[in-house]
Structure 1
C-alpha cells in the first residue's frame, strides 16, 4: 500500500490515467459519429494534455523540495547553517529534508564548538608574553598578538601591514633578526636599557599557501634569574676552593710554628713552606681568571687592518677564512677582539668541530662590523643556548665558564651585541656585531 502512495507509484498511476483518457475519448467520439482520424487525433491530444497536467501536479512537491534543497546548499557553501527546511507531506521527500536539517544542525554545533575553541586560543595568544607574528607568502601580516604590537609598533595595529614597512619602526636589532630569518638569542636596546630576546622562525602551509610564524620571547628576566643562580654557584665554588686551600695552609702554619722550636727539623720545615707556597700559587691562578673578567678595561679603539688581525690569530688557532675581507679597515680594540675570536675558535674546536669546518667570516656595512664564527661541533640545546653567555656557566668538566661571558663583556663594551644560533646540519654560529665607534681626529 505504501508503494502505491510513493512518488514512483503516483507517476505510474498518472501514466495509466493518461493512457486511459487517450483511448477512451476516441472511442467516445466514434460512438458519437465523428470522423475516426479526427477522433483519434483529438483523443491523443487530450490524453497528452491530461498526462502533462497530472505529471506537473504529481512532481510539484518534488520540484519545490529540490529548489529548497538547492537554496539550502548554497547557504552551506556561504557558511550559513541557520536555514532549516519544512518537511513536505511526501514521506520520501520528508526523509531527505529531515536528513538535510540534521546535517545543518550538526554543522551549526561544530561551528559553534570551533568558534569557542578559536576564541579560547586567541585569548591565550593575546595574553601571552611572547610576541607572535603570522606572515603570508606576500609578506603581509595576517595575525599578531598584543605583545607583538607593543614590541614592534608601540602598541599600534600592525595586522595587514607589509613586514618591510613595519621593521623600520622596530628596534634595529629585532628588525635585523627578523629580516635575516635568524633563530637564537640576541640583545636589543630601547629606552629602558638592554634586553635579551630569543627569536624563532618556522614555516607551514595553510590553505595551500606558505606562511611564516615568528615568535619573539623576552628572556631578560629568565637570564637575570639564571645569572643570580650562577653567581650563587660561583660563590659556593670560590668558598669551596678557598676552604680547600686555607684549611691546610692554617694547619701547615701551625705545624711550621712547632717545627721552628726544633733545630733538627729544618728539612721538614722547608717542605711545609713548599706546600704553603704551592697552595698559594694555586689560589693565585684560580683568582686571576676571575679578576681578568671582573676588571676588563675600557676598549681602546683604533683602525685595524683585517689581514694583520687574521695574521695574528692564524698561528694560534686553526680556522678557515670564509669570503673576502672588507676593504674598509675595522675600528675597535684589536687586543680585546683578538682575544674574543681566539676564545670562540678554541670553544669550537673543543666542541668537536674539525679545524677545517671552523669558519670565520667578516663583513661590514654602513652601520657596523660583523664577525661570524661558524663550526660543525655538537651544537647546543635550548637550555644551554639560553645560559651560555652567563658568567661561570660551563658544560665542561673542568671549565670555569668565563670564555663566552668574557666575549660578551668585550662586545658590550664596544656598544655591540653577540648572538648565538644553532646551525642546520649541526654546529653553532656566533656573531659579533660592532658599531662604527666615533674615531678620534
Structure 2
C-alpha cells in the first residue's frame, strides 16, 4: 500500500514497463504463431506481417504511457521557473502510485514550505515597513554617497517622516540628495558636510528646532550605501529642560529658605535686644548673620559659575607649581612623580575642578591621609586620579553622579562633579568614576597631551 493508503497497490515504473514490454512480446509471439499457421512455409511473409501488426500497437501503447510523463516534466519545468521568479503558488498531481508520485509529493512539499516561508517573510516585511513608516525618526537610504564634505547620492528609500521633513510629504525615492537639500535648512547641510553623528539646530529664536543626526555606511550589491537618521529632539529636550528648571528652583528655594529663615529670626532677635538695651549678644548674632550670608553668597556663586563657565584659556603650566597651589588649599598625598612636561590648561578652572574633587574625597568618610592625587603621562593624554578610601558609590549613584544638581548629601548642590565634568570636557577631555578595590572611589580626569614643542 502507498503511504497515504489512497492509491491502492504500488506499481513501480520498472514493474509497469516490464509488464508492458512482456505483454507486447507475448502478443507478437501469438500473432507470429497465428500467421505461421495460416501461411506455412513462408517465414519472411510471417515476419513482415507480424511487424506490420505489432509495431503500430507498440508505438501507440508506448506513446500513451510516455505522453503523461512528458507532460509532467513540462509542468515541473514550469513550476521550477515560477519558483525562480518568486511565485510559489503552483502544485502538481500525478495519478499513479510510483516513483514519479514520490517526486511530485516532494515537489509539492517543497512548494508548501516555500509558500509558508514567503508568507512569513512578507508579514515580517510588512511589520518592519509599518514600523519604519510610522516612526518619528526620519530615515533616508542613499546610494553612491560621496565622501565627507559633499552630499551627492541618490535616495533609494525614505519613510514618511523624511518626506514630511524634507519634501512636504512628496516622494523622495529617485531624487538626488543634493537637490533635496537645496530646499532644506542650511544647518542640516552643514551637519552632513561635517560627517559623523551629532546635534544641530535649525531655525531661530522661538522657532528653533533641535535634531540629532546619526549615520552609518555599508556596501550592498557592490555599491556603497549611507543610512541617515534624523531625530527631532526639541520636545524631548524642552521637557527635560522644564524638569531641570523645576529641580533647580526646588534646590535654590530650599537653600534660600534654610538661610533666610534663620537670618530673619536673628535680625528680629537683634532688634529686640537693642530695644531692651541688652547689646552684649549682638556681636554673636551679627557674626552668625555674616556666616549665613557668606554661605548663601557661596551657594549662589556656585550656580553662577556653573551656568557661565567661560571657554578655557589654555596656557603652559608646570605641574609642580600647579600641585603646590592645590596643596596650599586642601590636604592630599601625592603619589608618584609629576610629569616633566608642563600641562596646557586653564589653571583657574582646572584648580577649581580638582579642589571640588579633593574636597569631595575628604567628605567621603575617608581618612585624611588616604586622600591622594596621582598624575601620569600616557601616550597621547594626561591622566589625573583623585583617590580616597571612603564608602565609594552604589551603581545608581555612579550612573547619576555627573548629572547636574544630583546629590546624595542633605545640603549638597549637586554641582561639584558636574562642574568638574564641564571643565574637563571644555579642555577636550573627560571624567570617569569607579569604585576602588578595597574600598573608596577613584575619580579620573583624562586630558589631551600637551602639544609638541616647536621643531620636534
The 3 A distance-change label for structure 1 pair 280 and 344 is closer
Indicate yes or no: 2:284 matched with 1:277.
no
TM-score normalised by the chain length of structure 2: 0.59
The number of equivalent residue pairs is 370
The 3 A distance-change label for structure 1 pair 294 and 71 is closer
Q: Distance in 2 between matches of 1:153 and 1:358?
A: 49
Q: Unmatched 5+ residue regions in structure 1?
A: 300-307, 320-337, 361-374, 376-383, 411-417, 421-426, 431-441
Q: Corresponding residue for 1:323? A: none
**Any residues of structure 2 matched to 1:360-371 within 5 Å, and which?**
none
Q: Which residue, out of 143, 149, 161, partners 2:163?
A: 149
**What are the superposed Cα offsets for residues 83-116 of structure 1, whole Å, 9 maximum, x if unpaired?**
444x343244567556655654665565455434
> How many Å apart are 1:243 and its aligned residue?
1.3
> How many Å apart are 1:242 and its aligned residue?
0.8
**Any residues of structure 2 matched to 1:9-408 within 5 Å, and which?**
9-21=15-27, 23=29, 32-33=39-40, 51=58, 53-85=60-92, 87-92=93-98, 97=104, 100=107, 104=111, 107-108=114-115, 111-112=118-119, 114-136=121-143, 140-163=154-177, 166-179=180-193, 181-183=195-197, 185-190=198-203, 193-202=207-216, 212-260=226-274, 266=280, 268-291=281-304, 310-311=314-315, 399-400=414-415
**What are the superposed Cα offsets for residues 204-248 of structure 1, whole Å, 9 maximum, x if unpaired?**
787898755432211111111111111111111111111111122
**What are the superposed Cα offsets for residues 380-432 of structure 1, whole Å, 9 maximum, x if unpaired?**
xxxx99xx9x9x5568975438859999xx9xxxxxxx9x9xxxxxx9999xx
**What are the superposed Cα offsets for residues 308-345 of structure 1, whole Å, 9 maximum, x if unpaired?**
964378988999xxxxxxxxxxxxxxxxxx89997999
Q: Distance in 2 between matches of 1:341 and 1:276?
A: 30
Contact 1:141/1:163 (8 A) holds in 2: yes
**What are the superposed Cα offsets for residues 20-56 of structure 1, whole Å, 9 maximum, x if unpaired?**
3555566566663566578668867976775554333
The 3 A distance-change label for structure 1 pair 211 and 187 is closer
CA RMSD across the alignment: 5.7
TM-score normalised by the chain length of structure 1: 0.61
Q: Distance in 2 between matches of 1:353 and 1:150?
A: 54
The 3 A distance-change label for structure 1 pair 104 and 48 is same
More relative contact order in 1 or in 2 (CA 8 Å, sep 6+)? 1
Q: Corresponding residue for 2:329? A: none
